[in-house]
Amino acid sequence: MSDYLLDRSSAPTRFSLSHYAPTRDLNRAMDRELSVGMTVASRIDAAGYVARTALSCVEALSKAEAGLVAAAPAATERARAIVDAFTAVAMAEVASLGRRCER
């Protein structure tokens, strides 16, 4: 059966293989787009990391605030002010990353 198969290695081709390769301009354009995509993905990943960290910290601080309020009701306002101040800082950081990504 192998006698009936065409030996492709010895068959002449109509065009050289370089004819099928992408042009240098196309390769450069593809590299630019890949670079843009990787940059955007890195920014999104960084923003997600900051948001996850901020949420984790706010959760921990809120639990600590609840424990402090239960133990010392007189400290309620101070504990709430501290947690709220941190939350405002965390929100500002997450928002600033969003503005930087709009470039």
* Domain annotation covers residue 96: yes
Number of structural domains in the chain = 1
Helix (DSSP H) and strand (DSSP E) numbers for the chain: 2, 0
Tens-place pLDDT, residues 25-51: 999 999 999 999 999 999 999 999 999
Tens-place pLDDT, residues 67-99: 999 999 999 999 999 999 999 999 999 999 877
Give the domain range for residue 35: 21-101
Put residue 42 in one of left, alpha, beta given phi > 0 → left and psi -120 to 50 → alpha: alpha
For the residues of 15-71, what is the DSSP string, one character each? Answer: S-GGGTSPPHHHHHHHHHHHHHHHHHHHHHHHHHHHHHHHHHHHHHHHHHHHHHHHH
